[in-house]
Amino acid sequence: MQATQSNLRHQFWHDMLSTRAYNCIARTYSRYTDNGFRIMPTVTEIKAVPNSELLQLKNFGKKSLEELHNAIATYEHINEVNDANNRT
């Protein structure tokens, strides 16, 4: 199950961010399993990172930060819609 969640997380970040922003997040905040598979950070983990810290990343600027905020907003909107649909 963890591999599936990790694959979905990877796909979400990959689809929502530019290559530059994605690589910065992956390079800095990913962790690795014992088998050597990279696990991308969750949206919650990235939301906890201060903007000032993100802007200190190599090749991560204001445009990347804006992309990240848009991706997080999209993720939260999707969750709200799914929650509303599950209640009905």
What is residue 29's three-state secondary structure? helix
User: Which pair of tokens denotes residue 34?
Assistant: 């014992």
Q: How sure is the predictor about 82, in pLDDT bands with cuts at 50, 70 and 90? A: confident
Domain residue limits, the chain: 2-87
Q: What is the pLDDT of residues 23-77, one digit of tens each?
A: 999 999 998 888 887 888 989 999 999 999 999 999 999 999 999 999 999 999 9
**pLDDT range class, residue 2, cuts 50, 70, 90:** low
- CA angle, 7 as apex, 60 and 12 as ends, to 5°? 45
DSSP designation for 88: -
| Residue of 20 and 6 predicted with greater confidence | 20
